[in-house]
Amino acid sequence: MWRSSRLDIGVALFLLVLYVNAQQNWQTNGNPQNPGQNNWQNSGQPNTNWQNNNGQPNPNWQNNNNNPNPNWQNSNNPNSNSNWQNNGQNDNWSNNGQGQNNNNNNNWQNQNNQQYGNNNSQDDCCEDYCYVTDEEPYLNFATKTAYDSLNRRSNSQHLVPECTPIQFWTIIRHGTRLPSAEKIEKLRGLNRLHEEILMNYGKRRSYPDKGRLCREDYDLFTRWRWNDTVTPERGNALTSQGVEDLKLLASRYKSKYSQILQAPYDERAFYFQYENLDRTHDSYQAYIEGLFGSEAYRVHANTLNDERLSKPDDSCRTLEERQTQTIDFRNEYHSFTFSADYSKMVHDVFKRLGFRYNLNASVISDMYDLCRYEKAWNVQQRSAWCIAFTKSHLKLLEYGEDLKHYYKSGYGNRLSERIGCSPLKDLYERFEKTVNGDNTGPKATFFFTKAATLLNVLTAMGIGKEYTPLTAQNYYQHSRRKWRTSELSPFAGNLAAILYECRGSEKYKVMFFLNEMPVEFPECSVGLCNWSSVEQKYQGLVKNCNVNDLCSENLASTSSLSYILYAVTAATLLYLRI
């Protein structure tokens, strides 16, 4: 009995070690290659790949001959006909059954073998909505929002009476980019879904009576083709729209703060730094072209100095893992996707597209991603994939994205402020140096980063903070929330701070701008803060900001615990053998 008890103790300690290491190396759904992807499963089956007629996994949406066809074209598919014909027997648009694709016999049946059937006037979907004719479509797409979509008003609030701008500081998110290589492969699979939706509205006529696609939306959808220039080899690359956004942003700030930014380039007066990513480098390059024009080639960027300043979460891998583990942001998001509102949205979207059952829920995410990416790539055009959603659907999906970032890089994660304090510390110390009479530093400082870093900085500053935390249960309560990543960190999102020298009792003042609009702090007047207020608000945070210590602290605590548990387990197992 004693030996059995000792064995139980050894097994328990061994399991405890496994648990600790699992927590340190936590990944989503057991997939170490993609910790951020939500792999929704269908009916409990582990395979989310669309399968071909032979039942084989087919991530490339292969045809009946199992030949990869990622660049599917509809030229041989009569469904490509966008002319809604009417045989005069009913008022429902139809192409008289000419939508059949002879190369595809998949019927997308569910496990109960439900067929599509004809239109049932009592089988309604959702509210009638026409995306193409909507003069004010919903354009808030969380962190994939186009910068041009923001409701930025032309203003002159940078002009402060009896004050002169003397120092400029900004942190800028990269411009519009392509998805990752893995995501591009996944989105190309929507070629096949596009074909099936056309079949639903053509040969099958399985669309609902109420809530079906309007004529204009259907026409837009039939004309859609995958952009062949979007390839996995170009994953995460900055787009031409992203380049344009950064150039124009630089030009606008140069015009507003000509006293500082119109000076010829001097490396002592201008400081640039970007994260070691292609998209941030290219954003920096576009920005300096907008700032210096043909003289941009002379600009030097300080990419190797103090790398933790612009990307503390990446340079401290243990800290990044700890941040993810502190509060499982995916759990809150997953809870939201199981809510009644979200489930109804999924049901309505598939019914709106002519499916008599729900496909894998990850398809919703893919359609939403392509909708918002395409809109960001071409701000003057409408994405064909946005026709799948009504405005209420898009608001629900936006909230889900906000939940993710709230618990990953925002106020729902207690480490966000500690990570985001480094850039804020740089801002504070540069301005403090000038206020104290030392004018030897740069007059303008620029950092180019990614969405998570910008959100961490905004969290450290108290921007976008809610009195009531965002949860899976209080969606309606937060319909007017401040934590809206569409407005906090869109593509090319930026935070700028300008130090003014003024006449009067307060010699120095600071104006903060988020995406070119003044930030309203309670202790400030229309975004203009006395330096004494800035000191009081941020001095304590920046004085105690040291990401190096935080990294060392986490490294020491996690590694020490592992070593202790391994040692105890090894000793116990050795004792059991004696």
CA angle, residues 402, 235, 141, in degrees to nearest 5: 25
As a whole number, mean pLDDT of residues 12-29 equals 46
Taking 70 as the threshold, does the pLDDT of residue 74 lie above it?
A: no
558 and 458 co-located in one domain: no
CA angle, residues 528, 480, 149, in degrees to nearest 5: 75
Measured CA to CA in angstroms, residue 227 lies from 143, 187, 224, 373, 378 at distances of: 22, 11, 9, 12, 12
With the CA atoms of 178, 181, 184 and 186 taken in that order, what torsion angle do they form, in degrees rounded to the nearest 10?
-150
- What residues act catalytically? 174
- Which pairing describes strands 517-518 and 508-514: parallel, antiparallel, or unpaired? antiparallel
d(CA 340, CA 222): 32
Sign of CA dihedral 381, 382, 384, 385: positive
Taking 90 as the threshold, does the pLDDT of residue 37 lie above it?
A: no
Question: Does residue 445 sit within a domain?
Answer: yes
Domain count along the chain: 2
pLDDT, one tens digit per residue, over 308-324 is: 454 455 555 555 555 55
> Which are the contacts of 210, defined by CB distance < 8 A and separation ≥ 6?
124, 125, 126, 127, 128
Taking 60 as the threshold, does the pLDDT of residue 114 lie above it?
A: no
Instruction: State phi, psi for 496 to the nearest 5 degrees.
Output: -125, 145
Under 8 Å between Cβ of 458 and 409: no
167 and 289 co-located in one domain: yes
pLDDT band at 155 (very low <50, low <70, confident <90, very high): confident
pLDDT band at 504 (very low <50, low <70, confident <90, very high): confident
299 and 418 co-located in one domain: yes
Question: Does residue 484 sit within a domain?
Answer: no
> In the numeric block, which tokens belong to residue 394?
């898009």
> Which are the contacts of 364, defined by CB distance < 8 A and separation ≥ 6?
345, 346, 349, 397
pLDDT, one tens digit per residue, over 90-102 is: 333 433 333 333 3
pLDDT band at 153 (very low <50, low <70, confident <90, very high): low
Under 8 Å between Cβ of 132 and 82: no
d(CA 511, CA 504): 17
Question: Does residue 219 sit within a domain?
Answer: no
> In the numeric block, which tokens belong to residue 447?
């950092």
pLDDT, one tens digit per residue, over 358-375 is: 888 899 999 999 999 999
pTM over 0.85? The answer is no
pLDDT, one tens digit per residue, over 125-146 is: 788 999 999 999 999 999 999 9
309 and 454 co-located in one domain: yes
As a whole number, mean pLDDT of residues 529-557 equals 81
Q: CA end-to-end span of the chain, whole Å?
A: 16
Question: Does residue 475 sit within a domain?
Answer: no
pLDDT band at 45 (very low <50, low <70, confident <90, very high): very low
The CATH number given to whatever domain includes residue 457 is 3.40.50.1240
pLDDT band at 46 (very low <50, low <70, confident <90, very high): very low
Confidence at residue 165, expressed as pLDDT on a 0 to 100 scale:
97
171 and 288 co-located in one domain: yes
Question: Does residue 522 sit within a domain?
Answer: yes
> In the numeric block, which tokens belong to residue 361?
């829920």
pLDDT band at 81 (very low <50, low <70, confident <90, very high): very low
d(CA 9, CA 576): 10
456 and 521 co-located in one domain: yes
Question: Does residue 120 sit within a domain?
Answer: no
Q: What interhelical angle do 278-292 and 240-256 show, nearest 10?
A: 40
Q: What interhelical angle do 340-352 and 362-377 show, nearest 10?
A: 70
Question: Does residue 107 sit within a domain?
Answer: no
Under 8 Å between Cβ of 458 and 464: yes
As a whole number, mean pLDDT of residues 505-513 equals 95
Confidence at residue 191, expressed as pLDDT on a 0 to 100 scale:
97
Confidence at residue 158, expressed as pLDDT on a 0 to 100 scale:
85
Under 8 Å between Cβ of 199 and 99: yes
Residue corresponding to tokens 């809510």? 339
Taking 60 as the threshold, does the pLDDT of residue 482 lie above it?
A: yes
CB neighbour burial string for 45-71, b if at least 16 within 10 angstroms, e if fewer: eeebebebeeeeebebbbbeeeeebbe
Amino acid occupying residue 370: L
d(CA 148, CA 379): 7
pLDDT band at 572 (very low <50, low <70, confident <90, very high): very low
d(CA 537, CA 510): 12
Confidence at residue 277, expressed as pLDDT on a 0 to 100 scale:
93
> In the numeric block, which tokens belong to residue 266?
């001097």
As a whole number, mean pLDDT of residues 51-79 equals 38
427 and 572 co-located in one domain: no
pLDDT, one tens digit per residue, over 377-415 is: 999 999 999 999 999 999 999 999 999 999 999 999 989
Confidence at residue 77, expressed as pLDDT on a 0 to 100 scale:
41
pLDDT, one tens digit per residue, over 177-233 is: 999 999 999 999 999 999 999 999 999 999 998 999 999 999 999 999 999 999 999
241 and 297 co-located in one domain: yes
555 and 460 co-located in one domain: no
268 and 299 co-located in one domain: yes
Least confident of 103-117, 258-272, 312-326, 550-564: 103-117
Highest-pLDDT range among 71-80, 107-116, 162-171, 315-324: 162-171
172 and 286 co-located in one domain: yes
Amino acid occupying residue 156: S
SS3 letters across 159-178: CCCCEEEEEEEEEEECCCEC
Taking 70 as the threshold, does the pLDDT of residue 25 lie above it?
A: no
pLDDT, one tens digit per residue, over 433-465 is: 999 999 999 999 999 999 999 999 999 999 999
> Which are the contacts of 551, defined by CB distance < 8 A and separation ≥ 6?
315, 316, 318, 319
173 and 305 co-located in one domain: yes
Sign of CA dihedral 333, 335, 338, 341: negative
Q: Which helix (H) or strand (E) holds 511?
A: strand 508-514
Which structural domain, as residue segments, surrounds residue 567?
2-26+549-577
More confident residue, 142 or 41: 142
> In the numeric block, which tokens belong to residue 237?
């690359």
Question: Does residue 193 sit within a domain?
Answer: no
